Structure 1
Amino acid sequence: MEQKNDVTEIPVDVLAQKVLDGEQLFILDVRTTDAFDDWKIEGENVEIINKPYFELIDSIDSIMHQLPKNNPIYVICNKGGSSQMVGQNIKEAGYENVLSIKGGMNAWSELLVPIKIGDISGGEITQFVRIGKGCLSYLIESNGECAIVDTNRMIDQYEDFIKKNKLQLKHLIDTHLHADHISGGRILAEKTGATYHLPPKDAEEVTFSYSSLEEGEEIKIGDVIIQVLYSPGHTIGSTSLIVDEKYLLTGDILFVDSIGRPDLAGKAEDWVNDLRQTLYKTYRNLADNLYVLPAHYMGINEMSKNGSIVEKLSVLFERNHGLNIESEEEFRKTVSENLPPQPNSYQQIRDTNMGRLNPDFDKQREMEIGPNRCAVR
């Protein structure tokens, strides 16, 4: 850890592991109240308070009654600068164990935590948890080959994993055209020579070449077969993947505790019926012992003890409210009236994923800031 202005910095990956391990954590978030209310660090044993940094420049008296005397105080801001300043003020007030979160919420948003889900033929499947945004992506490996599904834009973290495990990347697959985060699939495919797959019904306006992801197609990775299943509803092209006849990757159609929203391309009325058809007929006809692996999660209540997000399809048929609405009219009302706000910059993100925009790094980061909002509440 680095020393800067007498306040120790802690990397976001260390903090994330503490969150996943269920440690008792006290966090002081010094961003503006609006930013905090929109999006914050969450965890089972995380206590977090908010006080904008500009109210703490001259004095921390207003929060001293809330600060723990004997436990670490973790301070976070947007980029890591203001948290250093506030942390120094807290130390000078007599608190010894004060840590600034390096890179702030920007770094928290971009961290991917790899968690092994289970074994498959000749290899295993790893879930990359983007803990600061709720995005989930998957690396499927078998006999030295691998594919990545729903790649985030932070491709260096996948590259490090691939290099460490001596894998050859063969395929990048997006289950749909994403609207809440920028895909790294096409860029990583161009960089490595792997094949980039995208559902054709979501790709009618893209500006680049791709391999069409078609119903009934099989993609081979080592000894593993990935079966392609057309499952519209979140988007017109939404596609699911069955991996090794064991795992069902549902994209943004079905989550552990909710279902996908059908409105991010402005066609909710058109796609509600597709969503119901996929959830209530297509998925019902699948083996219910499949393990569901979604592309997002909404909250820590969906996490297993090791931090992974996975559940049997049979369990979701029993417990997920979105799979148990008998009336079509009630279903339509539920998915049209229980929607969170649109994701930040969602149209710009869609245009970027179609190749229409080419924003620089800072702009991409700005576009993605905030929580994911791909589910019906």
Structure 2
Amino acid sequence: MTTNTANAMTAGEVTRAIIESKPLFILDVRNESDYGDWKIDGGVLESINVPYFDLIDGVEEVLPQLPKDRDILVVCAKEGSSIFVAEQLTEAGVVGVSYLQGGMKAWSEYLEPVKVGDLKDGGELYQFVRMGKGCLSYMVLSEGEAAVVDTLRMTDVFEDFAKSKCAVIKHTLDTHLHADHISGGRKLAEQNGGTYWLPPKDADEVVFDYRPLDEQSKITVGNTVLVIRPVYSPGHTIGSTSIVVDDQYLLSGDILFVESIGRPDLAGNAGAWANDLRNTLYSTYKELSDDLLVLPAHFGKTSELGEGGQVSARLGELYSSNPGLNIASEDEFRKTVTENLPAQPNAYQEIRQTNMGRIAPNEDEQRDMEIGPNRCAVHDK
């Protein structure tokens, strides 16, 4: 009979290990197909996959595959199987074994707040890094007020963070109608008496009230005005709208990432939207300051994380380094963004319907719909 001697490691601790490049070895005991679709990686992590059912009768066969010079984290879907395997390894004499508390479910939902910088007239901008899914949200704070951009469905995280900053959430904004994760923007606004903003060209099928986010919008947050000047930026969706904050930061949604560009096919209009995407990236964004710090709504690889876990880059630097911004031929660009794309996000049609308000899955159903990586960029293979 085993005893519960293995330690628990939280999703937050794993996130910090990746950000700080701490050595960690992962034994993932989920099914091979689940591991192949989506796993924990990044930093200096290493991992192997040995399904739980291969370890029920003993862990002896896996012992030679485990390193002796680094901590070992056992991972499963919800925690139970990893506890069992971690206990078996500990009893077999393996040192430094932990299990992922809450399993991949917890990994998918954890958000790490990272300070991006200060605002000119006071206030701060924070990025929320969802390491397990590559999603990025933002909070602008100024004089006791807050606005949240591209809110994720874990709204309590944003509420708690705003409270810790003594701020009231006045606005929530989505840069576009998301297809890879369920937006928490409308819910967060309703819970806090705030206003929810959505680009009107993405809202043809929504069944709820919203404020149109367009080129005329000016949203005051304390001393700060979120300026949405002519940065209507279609291509990922027809309504995609970028947001310039404090003339310093460009919240680019899913149009431009640090190492790639957005895909135009998630609403079935890849051919029509490819031209929009190129025009946004090669003309509209070219008119903006090279000094703007680009802050996307997603990242595809942990190599995109910079100091402290922040995902960002100067616009001018991206015009030099990002392959998607350096395709001279229009035909080659169209081919790049419409052919040989990665698989579409899991349950993306149902997620879009949820974000339109047309279906209302419960919390467990929403969690299952989101399981897996984001696939919003053309390079996410």
TM-score greater than 0.5 by the shorter chain: yes
Q: What is the CA deviation profile of residues 192-246 of structure 1, one whole-angstrom value per residue up to 9, with x for unaligned ones?
A: 1100000001001101000000113221111112112210000000000000000
Residues 244 and 251 in structure 2, CA contact (< 8 A), matched pair in contact too:
yes
1:94 Cα deviation (Å)? 1.2
Structure 1 equivalent of residue 111 of structure 2 = 112
Q: Please tell me whether residue 63 in structure 1 is matched to residue 62 in structure 2.
A: yes
1:145 Cα deviation (Å)? 1.0
Structure 2 equivalent of residue 45 of structure 1 = 44
Q: Distance in 1 between matches of 2:186 and 2:247?
A: 27
Q: Please tell me whether residue 304 in structure 1 is matched to residue 306 in structure 2.
A: yes
Q: Distance in 1 between matches of 2:45 and 2:69?
A: 16
Q: Which amino acid in 2 is paired with 1:374?
A: C
Q: Distance in 2 between matches of 1:327 and 1:201?
A: 28
Structure 2 equivalent of residue 153 of structure 1 = 153
Structure 1 equivalent of residue 317 of structure 2 = 315
1:70 Cα deviation (Å)? 4.8
Q: Please tell me whether residue 137 in structure 1 is matched to residue 141 in structure 2.
A: no
1:73 Cα deviation (Å)? 1.4
Structure 2 equivalent of residue 183 of structure 1 = 183
1:280 to 279, 282, 288: 282
Residues 151 and 183 in structure 2, CA contact (< 8 A), matched pair in contact too:
yes
Residues 116 and 125 in structure 1, CA contact (< 8 A), matched pair in contact too:
yes
2:335 to 333, 347, 364: 333
Equivalent runs, 1:265-276 vs 2, <5 Å? 265-276=267-278
Q: Distance in 2 between matches of 1:217 and 1:5?
A: 56
Equivalent runs, 1:112-261 vs 2, <5 Å? 112-120=111-119, 121-228=121-228, 229-261=231-263
Q: Please tell me whether residue 324 in structure 1 is matched to residue 352 in structure 2.
A: no
1:98 Cα deviation (Å)? 1.3
Query: Secondary structure, in 3 states, of the residue corresponding to 1:269?
Result: helix
Query: Secondary structure, in 3 states, of the residue corresponding to 1:242?
Result: strand
2:265 to 263, 278, 284: 263
Residues 42 and 303 in structure 2, CA contact (< 8 A), matched pair in contact too:
no
Q: Distance in 2 between matches of 1:43 and 1:205?
A: 38
Q: Distance in 2 between matches of 1:368 and 1:212?
A: 26
Residues 78 and 105 in structure 1, CA contact (< 8 A), matched pair in contact too:
yes
Q: Distance in 2 between matches of 1:211 and 1:116?
A: 28
The 10-residue stretch of structure 1 (240-249 or 222-231) with the greater mean CA deviation from structure 2: 222-231
Report the identity percentage.
Answer: 56
Q: Distance in 2 between matches of 1:179 and 1:193?
A: 26
Long gaps (5+) in structure 2: none
Residues 143 and 223 in structure 1, CA contact (< 8 A), matched pair in contact too:
yes
Query: Secondary structure, in 3 states, of the residue corresponding to 1:58?
Result: coil
Query: Secondary structure, in 3 states, of the residue corresponding to 1:63?
Result: helix
Residues 122 and 222 in structure 1, CA contact (< 8 A), matched pair in contact too:
no
Q: Report how many residues are paired.
A: 375
Residues 23 and 70 in structure 2, CA contact (< 8 A), matched pair in contact too:
no
RMSD: 1.2
The 10-residue stretch of structure 1 (343-352 or 31-40) with the greater mean CA deviation from structure 2: 31-40
Query: Secondary structure, in 3 states, of the residue corresponding to 2:60?
Result: coil
Structure 1 equivalent of residue 291 of structure 2 = 289
Q: What is the CA deviation profile of residues 98-141 of structure 1, one whole-angstrom value per residue up to 9, with x for unaligned ones?
A: 11110000000000000000111311100000000000000011
Long gaps (5+) in structure 1: none
Query: Secondary structure, in 3 states, of the residue corresponding to 2:242?
Result: strand
Q: Distance in 2 between matches of 1:70 and 1:171?
A: 49
Scaled by the length of structure 2, the TM-score of the pair is 0.97
Structure 2 equivalent of residue 365 of structure 1 = 367
Residues 136 and 296 in structure 2, CA contact (< 8 A), matched pair in contact too:
yes
Q: Distance in 2 between matches of 1:15 and 1:341?
A: 27
Q: What is the CA deviation profile of residues 160-202 of structure 1, one whole-angstrom value per residue up to 9, with x for unaligned ones?
A: 1011110011100000000000000001111111000000010
